[in-house]
């Protein structure tokens, strides 16, 4: 019996060791590539594979999947380096990687619509690779990233754990590749911007790694400004300009404004004054005031006055998406309200799915990244590449009701007065409304000299601003301007 137990122990250890061997640093593939950006030919190296995260006892904790692009022929110790990721939580980096800033992009219509399958990708003439080397990171349970044998994903998920996990990867990659003297940037989209605020501060506090810049695309820094729960009236005025932009785009306003930006300026003023004041009164508002506000909301959204009054003057994402085009039997998207879809019937309170995700981007991006990694980057894995997954499970944000990481960003900017922050927002984004982000930044109370280091750009697009072809080109130009400000003179 003792011999049997001993054999089982040896067998178990052998399995564990075999599993660890599948996650060593040799599980990387290096390939050489070439592309043209304008009239300039770029030669670059792609490194695809796993970085093994270990504890101080040299035991494996997790294997992080990443794809790094390095321009050839440059002194890497001085060349800028950008770490990029998406959000979710539970999203891989595929969206920024193959939609915006990597050397390849998914082929969509100029508006950003899905074309008929099979899908394709092509060279991205708006890649950021001519300006910076780029490392795309897939956080825990996204892409091919998984915990090591004997460890649970929950050790690496949730705001605090994820911040350390991604920050520790950045430190390790920087050290292994001798990039401490490179100008360094981090960039995230959606929840990736939440992560970035924490990571920027974590890198400073934990490792003394001071960044040159932080890129925030479709930012969410204070969830209390975005989540329209009962008892939290703050988001309603902040998302109204996005509703107005959506109604304008679908020609539901009467009269129809000729210019989007003049409409938004008017709606923003109403939101911050009459509308916010009315909501603050709760049911103490008079009937006359309620009717005045309802008239204005009808003017700016195209929804019926009866519907607005029945909603207590409070318009919700989901409900609005169903109601705006109900008479046409259509719903509008949440990630990008330019796109429309059909539900089983028109009688529901909310839409059944987001047409700007399921009907527009999911299929093309999933096909492209799986084909690209295997065929061009020569990396093989039998794991499913998790695009946007619920496998991360429960994701604790904070001990408070609403996570607010704006203070972490303020602290990082204040302690590093050279840190530049760029925020890019789409007008048709209901997931992270642009006006809410502006309001959160206004509540950071940055001193004037520090506030000059933060600036916004806006796009007539949705959450993934780059799937709209004109916005993709604008995003590249805006990034080039940002780099000029952020790099040492």
Taking each helix axis as running N to C, give the angle between helix 260-270 and helix 235-249, from 0 to 180 degrees, rounded to the nearest 10. 160
| Confidence tier at 23 by pLDDT (50, 70, 90) | very low
Provide CB contacts within 8 A for 303, sequence distance 6+. Answer: 247, 297, 315, 320, 323, 324
Provide CB contacts within 8 A for 300, sequence distance 6+. Answer: 240, 243, 244, 247, 253, 263, 266, 267, 270
Evaluate whether 107 touches 99 at the Cβ level (below 8 Å): no
- pLDDT of 2 over the 90 cut: no
| Confidence tier at 6 by pLDDT (50, 70, 90) | very low
Token code pair at residue 157: 């998920």
Evaluate whether 426 touches 462 at the Cβ level (below 8 Å): yes
User: How far lies 198's CA from each of 97, 139, 154, 218, in Å?
Assistant: 22, 14, 18, 16
pLDDT digit string (tens) for 362-419? 999 999 999 999 999 999 999 999 999 999 999 999 877 899 999 999 999 999 999 9
Q: How far apart are CA 462 and CA 425, in angstroms?
A: 8
| Confidence tier at 86 by pLDDT (50, 70, 90) | very high
| Structural domains in the chain plus CATH codes | 20-224+362-486 (3.40.50.1820), 231-315 (no CATH)
pLDDT digit string (tens) for 100-146? 999 999 999 999 999 999 999 999 999 999 999 999 999 999 999 99
Which phi and psi (to 5°) does residue 15 adopt? Answer: -65, -45
**C-alpha angle with apex 90: 369 to 438, nearest 5 degrees?**
105
Q: How far apart are CA 66 and CA 58, in angstroms?
A: 21
Task: Name the percent of the chain lying above pLDDT 90.
Answer: 90
pTM given for the model: 0.92
pLDDT on residue 19: 38
DSSP of 288-345: HHHHHHHHHHHHHH---HHHHHHTTT---TTHHHHHTTGGGT-EE-SS-TT-EE--S-
Evaluate whether 88 touches 336 at the Cβ level (below 8 Å): no
- pLDDT of 22 over the 70 cut: no
pLDDT on residue 24: 41
Provide CB contacts within 8 A for 245, sequence distance 6+. Answer: 260, 263, 264, 337, 427, 428
| Arithmetic mean of pLDDT, 344-367 | 95
Exposed/middle/buried for residue 381 (C-beta within 10 Å: 0-12, 13-18, 19+) = middle
pLDDT on residue 82: 98
pLDDT digit string (tens) for 168-188? 999 999 999 999 999 999 999
- pLDDT of 482 over the 60 cut: yes
| Confidence tier at 20 by pLDDT (50, 70, 90) | very low
- pLDDT of 233 over the 80 cut: yes
């Amino acid at each position: 019996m003792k011999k049997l137990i001993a054999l089982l122990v040896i067998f178990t250890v052998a399995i564990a060791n075999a599993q660890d061997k599948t996650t060593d640093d040799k599980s990387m593939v290096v390939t050489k590539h070439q592309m043209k950006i304008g009239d300039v030919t770029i030669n670059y190296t792609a490194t695809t594979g796993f970085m093994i995260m270990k504890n101080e006892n040299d035991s494996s904790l997790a294997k992080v999947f990443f794809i790094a692009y390095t321009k050839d022929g440059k002194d890497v110790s001085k060349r800028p380096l950008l770490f990029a990721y998406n959000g979710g939580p539970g999203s891989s980096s595929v969206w920024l990687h193959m939609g915006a800033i990597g050397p390849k992009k998914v082929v969509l219509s100029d508006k950003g619509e899905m074309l008929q399958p099979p899908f394709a990708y092509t060279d991205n003439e708006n890649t950021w690779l001519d300006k910076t080397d780029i490392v795309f990171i897939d956080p825990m349970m996204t892409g091919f990233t998984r915990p090591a044998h004997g460890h649970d994903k929950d050790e690496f998920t949730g705001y605090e754990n994820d911040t350390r996990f991604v920050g520790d990867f950045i430190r390790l990659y920087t050290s292994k590749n001798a990039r401490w003297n490179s100008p360094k940037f981090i960039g995230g989209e959606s929840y990736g911007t939440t992560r970035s605020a924490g990571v920027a501060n974590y890198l400073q506090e934990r490792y003394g790694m001071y960044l040159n810049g932080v890129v925030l695309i479709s930012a969410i820094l204070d969830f209390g400004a975005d989540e329209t729960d009962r008892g939290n009236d703050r988001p309603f005025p902040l998302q109204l300009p996005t509703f107005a932009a959506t109604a304008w785009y679908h020609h539901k306003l009467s009269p129809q404004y000729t210019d989007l930006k003049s409409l938004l300026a008017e709606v923003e003023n109403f939101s911050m004054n009459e509308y916010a004041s009315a909501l603050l009164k709760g049911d103490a508002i008079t009937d006359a005031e309620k009717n005045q506000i309802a008239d204005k909301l009808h003017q700016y959204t195209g929804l019926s006055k009866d519907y607005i009054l029945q909603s207590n003057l409070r318009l919700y994402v989901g409900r609005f998406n169903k109601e705006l085009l109900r008479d046409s039997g259509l719903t509008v998207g949440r990630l990008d309200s330019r796109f429309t879809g059909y539900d089983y019937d028109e009688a529901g309170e909310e839409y059944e799915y987001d047409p700007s995700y399921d009907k527009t981007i999911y299929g093309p991006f999933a096909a492209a990244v799986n084909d690209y990694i295997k065929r061009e980057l020569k990396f093989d894995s039998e794991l499913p590449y998790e695009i946007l997954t619920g496998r991360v499970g429960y994701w604790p944000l904070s001990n408070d009701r609403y996570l607010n990481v704006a203070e972490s960003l303020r602290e990082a900017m204040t302690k590093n007065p050279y840190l530049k922050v760029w925020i890019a927002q789409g007008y048709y984004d209901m997931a992270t409304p642009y006006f809410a982000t502006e309001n959160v930044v206004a509540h950071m109370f940055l001193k004037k000299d520090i506030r000059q280091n933060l600036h916004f750009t806006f796009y007539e697009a949705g959450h993934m601003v780059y799937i709209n072809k004109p916005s993709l080109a604008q995003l590249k130009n805006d990034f080039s301007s940002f780099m000029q400000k952020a790099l040492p003179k």
